[in-house]
Amino acid sequence: MSLHALIFDVDGTLADTEAAHLAAFNHAFDEAGMGWHWDVPQYTRLLDISGGKERILHHWRQVQPDLTDLGGGVTDTVARLHELKTAAYERAVRDGAVQLRPGVLALIDAASGAGLQLAIATTTSPVNIAALLRQAIGPDWRLLFTVVEDASTAPRKKPDPMVYQQTLARMGLATADALAFEDSANGLAAARAAGLLTLVTPNGFTAHHNFAGALRVLPDLGGITLAQLRGWHAQALASAGAQA
Ligand code: XBP
Ligand code: MG
């Protein structure tokens, strides 16, 4: 089996976005007068919850344990807060707050030029993907990716494998045809549960996570070549075959 596709997580993998997400959450809480402010240590813990809406509700239940969804009031408020947050995040990205991580663009270009399929498998919202990649790659960014699976298409969030299973199915590929790229324990768990060999590039918010099961843990993708990926992929499949 040779390598036919690269599947990328977005937040923390394609770009170090979580500081901008954190600022956007706090902006939304201020705008709505919630009286909440997340600091970095707290947000680092909250990132164990995938999905911005799920994260907001999780925090609300932490600060108000007797919270019940009174006639939709809580659900509507969470949705409103997330809309405010997403708008603030989009503005920040458009203003250049976030850059792609080292090696990401070079690898995407090399893989695309070599005829590999590229895909995105993320728990973030579609508007966030478009804001980041429009700014980082250009208005035609979507043409580079065969499949984009995100919070709008895969409602069960990582570590659930749904987003990766749907990505593979839509690409018509087997797990052995692809490599996944992740930054977090939840993301690694989702990719592994979908049967994918996974490279991890941790960041400041995830460096302390447990990455057991990763094909490799790399500081970033700077200088990583397609030939190296093909070699690691073939080696992993061969040793899996030898153990079978
Ligand atoms: C990381 C997430 C997202 C972002 C915030 O996604 O869990 O929730 O933190 O974005 P990824 P939203 O799978 O790309 O690492 O507020 O749109 O959820
Ligand atoms: Mg991530």
Q: Whose CA is nearest to atom 1 of ligand 1?
A: 11
Short-list 199, 188, 193, CA closest to 230: 199
Q: 223 and 118 in one domain?
A: yes
Q: How confident is the model at residue 243 (pLDDT cuts 50, 70, 90)?
A: confident
Residue range 159-212, pLDDT digits in tens: 999 999 999 999 999 999 999 999 999 999 999 999 999 999 999 999 999 999
In DSSP terms, 197 is beta-bridged to: 179
Q: Which of 46, 62, 94 is the last residue of a domain?
A: 94
- For the chain, the average pLDDT equals 96
| 242 CA distance to ligand 1 middle (Å) | 37
Q: Which domain does 36 fall in, by range?
A: 18-94
Q: 226 and 171 in one domain?
A: yes
| 11 CA distance to ligand 2 middle (Å) | 4
Domain count, the chain: 2
Q: How confident is the model at residue 71 (pLDDT cuts 50, 70, 90)?
A: low
Q: 200 and 117 in one domain?
A: yes
pTM: 0.96
Q: 156 and 77 in one domain?
A: no
79 Cβ neighbours under 8 A, 6+ residues apart: 53
Q: Which amino acid is at 12?
A: G
